[in-house]
Amino acid sequence: MIIKSFRLANTAKSIVKEFNENKIHYGLARNYEKFPYFGHDIDFFSNEDSDKLKKILIKVAKKNNWDALTHNTHFRNSINNNGSVEAFHFYKYTKNKYEVLHLDFFRDNIVYGLPIIKSSSIKMSANKKKEYFYINEKAENVIKILQLNSHFSNKHAFQNINIKKKIKLYTKKIINFYKKNKNKNFDNGLLFEKEAIISLQEKKINKFKFYINLSKIIFFIKYFFFNPFKFFLNLFLRLIFFINIFLIRQPGLIIYIYTKDKIQNKNIFRVLNFLQKNNFINNWYIKKNKFIFSFKERKILERSGCILLFTSKQSKNTLYVKKNDTFNDILLIFLRKLIKKNLIIYEKK
């Protein structure tokens, strides 16, 4: 579903306009045909310095009347940028108007922790009117193939909400690209790419997965022989990255709630459903065991979801929901907690 919000569309236009005027190296990663209607999420490939991006995005936030702009560094790899993502979140929450816009700036695309496509090496294409730049079809096709393979292999229920739509769209784009470039030879790092796409055309999904997974293994082995030092460095940094986001500094939110009125629980759940429906959070879950986090719970936190714990004691880090708090009161309490999770780089006074 395309969300045609004036603020979201105008913000997308402002960002692209500022990037073009400031000669930022960027490429829209998906849905660029729908410009400027991206909904709540815009993905870019870019190797630009984050301070340069912040300066432009703060200007855009002010111009489009956002209440806050935050910088999410949970997915940043500050040493060599492999697998790194710079994320920014625009928030509108005053005068009963609630909107959010998430921006992700991908530094590269990785296979087993090793870079297969770097944003710095992607040649960006301009649309006919030169309103915006997007990643070229060759790079997009490789990324889509890897994403499709991941979607086919992923069985976690909480990741499958829109999975069928994505699979259908990616399959169509990949096959169309192959038909247009059938006689061309591409060195994309995926040795059995053509065999995989033929399998996809024939709807032989397991065969497609076999060829792509085999190509990934061969890429992995070749990287070791040609770049042994970078190979071990990248794997070590990827291990540190996973330890960080799964165990130490999760991107998601753990919220302890204290309330004397159990009737308010319904409003709390309504608020969380509202936040999920409007893309403020990815998912939410009520945790009963206060000490041990399951794999599912850690995965929810890794995907910027929310874990809820009800407590019988009020403390400094506990959200206190009072008996007379309205839906909007509770919503603002949660939003403030959500916004403060990341670095606030702009806030409307």
311 phi and psi angles, rounded to 5 deg: -125, 150
Contacts of 119 (CB under 8 A, 6+ apart): 25, 27, 45, 46, 47, 106, 107, 108
Mean pLDDT of all residues in 171-178: 91
pTM for the model? 0.90
Q: How far is Cα 136 from Cα 119, in angstroms, rounded to an integer?
A: 11
What's the rounded mean pLDDT across residues 157-183? 80
pLDDT at 157 over 80: no
Residue type, 129: K
More confident residue, 79 or 189: 189
2 pLDDT more than 60: no
Report the C-alpha gap between 88 and 68 in whole angstroms.
10
What b/e sequence results for 309-322 when a residue is b if at least 16 CB atoms lie within 10 Å of its CB, and e otherwise? ebeeeeeeebbebe
The share of the chain scoring above pLDDT 70, in percent, equals 94
Give the pLDDT of residue 1: 46
Q: Which tokens hold the place of 274?
A: 């509202």
Whether residue 127 has pLDDT greater than 90: no
Residue closest to 302 by CA, chosen among 285, 287, 282: 282
Which element (helix H / strand E) includes 117?
strand 114-118
pLDDT at 159: 53
Angstrom distances, CA of residue 179 to CA of 57, 81, 201:
39, 34, 10
pLDDT digit string, tens, across residues 306-334: 999 888 887 777 888 888 889 999 999 99
The predicted structure's pLDDT at residue 187: 66
Does residue 141 register a pLDDT over 70? yes
The one-character DSSP state at 248 is I
| Per-residue pLDDT reduced to its tens digit, 259-294 | 887 788 889 999 999 999 999 998 899 987 777 888
Are the C-beta atoms of residues 45 and 322 closer than 8 Å to each other? no
